[in-house]
Structure 1
């Protein structure tokens, strides 16, 4: 890493290797941290996994998504910690430890882009790159009081990035404030293909809101209550449970192709939690995948119809603030299932979702978000920065 001190354990302690980039541009002067599943020239790519790290060559080229930011003047300061193989939501790595959530030091930072979020929250970086498959930018942004985005699926190239679940993987970014966030999104996403209206159609997803408690709903109402929003329902037949189960199946089918072969060939040890996800993935069949797609495809089409060209969902990110590091086993086992029932809406529909700081619940950050039409990433970011 290229910083002197890392009091929040955000960065992988690689030897300092300068990374070439432009000295001028729209991101000039901004410090950039990069999740350690992206290739960065001069560095290994450990993916939060000792076995991956041991077998990783030093990269000779940098991932295009990262090059975009370097070419715009951002200054690379280091690679950041991630959950092992980027396959978790909490930010806790059994091998390398847990980055500190500066906004709530007794709470989880969220994963798998935990180090990137922790670096920005602690002002060790101004912007950071993460990935979001099931919520790995959006949850840490909410938990650490940051701006973050899961882009439209396919919007940002993932060459030079570890694949977890190709039909869900995206590359997003974090920032501490709206102005910086708009700058980095502009560079990372490029221009939207279509112009959109100055004013959106605000939509309130009533079935998503039903998953919030009173304190969480109070934060939501404080931010969105004054908007003229039309109530809508978004979940498919079978509700949130059906959407979550289809997501779980499809992510696991993707991971069975991309990650499980490495796990099996290396005979690497699996920590608690990851072992269960890997075991589930191994059981997936073509029939399971077909059943998952039978939910995803019509759901995505219905969401496209609902949002049209100008619809924006005023959506919760997750159901609660980050839990405490010393929480009981039941919390650890259950939290992600509740969270993904909200996070899966944008992921299954391949839509962009912008997260922003909104308030606190039980003394810890609780973010909110907007979900927009596919391909509306820049427009959605401008709306959020202007309105919230």
Structure 2
């Protein structure tokens, strides 16, 4: 571990994306030499940075928790690799949303589609990356908090294999599903970070499967992108591309309910006492989720966990040791910033049905950027076996280049 230079006040740029939290304006140099030297990154405000408060998207959390004295394990790893930390960015409150609006700090700008939401909960991370203010940003993904923003803003995002990257010094939400992640706007940088943070593996994909039940949850233009990715992969993989279902004999709505019940019960076990004691203000939709979480019984949570583990076995069996699954990264392009609650809720439900596949299975999922027929950003994702993250990133970059070259 190298000796770090002290933090400096301020940022080396203007926050045109409205992505940084007020207490996050500082810079911290990484190691003078390393695989990420020369790159700048931001950290979602759920990661501890020594000497700077962690806010978790809520002023009550900020006021009731001590300033960390140590970096989170992942922040330390990235600094040791040579990247410069450019402060801390907005998260939806306690990371309990995929929308991107924070009651206290506002909604960061989606530079790729300014009239549309950035997605959350890694809203500041994706906004900083999409605006090219940093080369990459650390985020988290529990139910879609990296994959969905990546899709909405036209950048790269990886939900890592559950437990692969360290979560010490990271504010939890649903521990059985929380993952540390990153986003980047350039595929070469995205892969460079993968090579710095992830151990190599000997895994190679031989075939791919388009998940028809996931495609059915998505708008036509998102499903079309997944089909295009399938055509590209059919030229890259010797086993070709087939079709299948993630949840044969069940439905993705069943799976979403298992995920929500299991996860929300865990969230209340982690944060319920603090919420009851502190009375923090939450965005209405997030407040509703916490209220629902407080009502989940242990019996209901255990039943959901049992069903969720059966879903995990099903997906891992489908993936095996040589298959990738193709799904849309979200159910739609980013909704308008002015969209009302019912529209947002309907899109959110469809998106969570897609995202819960990798979430319940604990598998890595790469969202690669594309453009929908409407001209708006939209992502398509590859899901691979546990621990295949680094090679999955490589395959996603190859697929993206094939799509750009028109070879599909």
Q: TM-score, normalised to structure 1's length? A: 0.96
| Cα distance change on mapping 1:237 and 1:259 into 2, 3 Å | farther
CA drift of 1:13 comes to: 2.4
Aligned equivalent of 1:196? 203
2:49 and 2:320 map into 1 onto residues whose CA distance is 38
Answer whether contact 1:3 1:78 (CA < 8 A) is retained.
Answer: no
| 1:372-387 map, 5 Å | 372-387=384-399
2:141 and 2:353 map into 1 onto residues whose CA distance is 15
Q: Does 1:206 align with 2:215?
A: no
- Cα RMSD, aligned residues only: 1.5
CA drift of 1:4 comes to: 3.3
Answer whether contact 2:210 2:227 (CA < 8 A) is retained.
Answer: no
Answer whether contact 1:236 1:299 (CA < 8 A) is retained.
Answer: no
Answer whether contact 2:27 2:84 (CA < 8 A) is retained.
Answer: no
Aligned equivalent of 1:295? 307
Query: Which runs of 5 or more structure 2 residues have no equivalent in the other structure?
Result: 1-9, 235-239, 401-408
Answer whether contact 2:268 2:294 (CA < 8 A) is retained.
Answer: yes
Q: Does 1:254 align with 2:290?
A: no
CA drift of 1:267 comes to: 1.6
Q: Does 1:28 align with 2:67?
A: no
| CA displacement, residues 89-111 of structure 1 (integer Å, 9 cap, x when unaligned) | 11100111000000000111000
Aligned equivalent of 1:309? 321
| CA displacement, residues 329-386 of structure 1 (integer Å, 9 cap, x when unaligned) | 2112322111100000000000000011021253421100100001111111111112
| CA displacement, residues 137-158 of structure 1 (integer Å, 9 cap, x when unaligned) | 1101011101110000000110
CA drift of 1:261 comes to: 1.6
CA drift of 1:204 comes to: 1.3
1:205 and 1:8 map into 2 onto residues whose CA distance is 35
Q: Does 1:159 align with 2:168?
A: yes
CA drift of 1:20 comes to: 4.6
| Cα distance change on mapping 1:28 and 1:295 into 2, 3 Å | same
| Cα distance change on mapping 1:285 and 1:361 into 2, 3 Å | farther
Answer whether contact 1:113 1:137 (CA < 8 A) is retained.
Answer: yes
Q: Which residue among 109, 112, 121 is the counterpart of 2:121?
A: 112
SS in 1 for 2:288: helix
SS in 1 for 2:19: coil
Aligned equivalent of 2:292? 280
| CA displacement, residues 245-295 of structure 1 (integer Å, 9 cap, x when unaligned) | 001101101101112221111022333101210111011111111211221
SS in 2 for 1:273: helix
Aligned equivalent of 1:67? 76
Q: Does 1:244 align with 2:256?
A: yes
2:346 and 2:155 map into 1 onto residues whose CA distance is 24
CA drift of 1:219 comes to: 2.4
SS in 1 for 2:254: helix
Aligned equivalent of 1:368? 380
Aligned equivalent of 2:404? none
CA drift of 1:17 comes to: 4.2
Q: TM-score, normalised to structure 2's length? A: 0.91
Aligned equivalent of 1:263? 275
1:282 and 1:28 map into 2 onto residues whose CA distance is 45
Answer whether contact 2:27 2:87 (CA < 8 A) is retained.
Answer: no
Answer whether contact 2:225 2:328 (CA < 8 A) is retained.
Answer: no
Q: Which residue among 132, 142, 145 is the counterpart of 1:136?
A: 145
Q: Does 1:339 align with 2:351?
A: yes
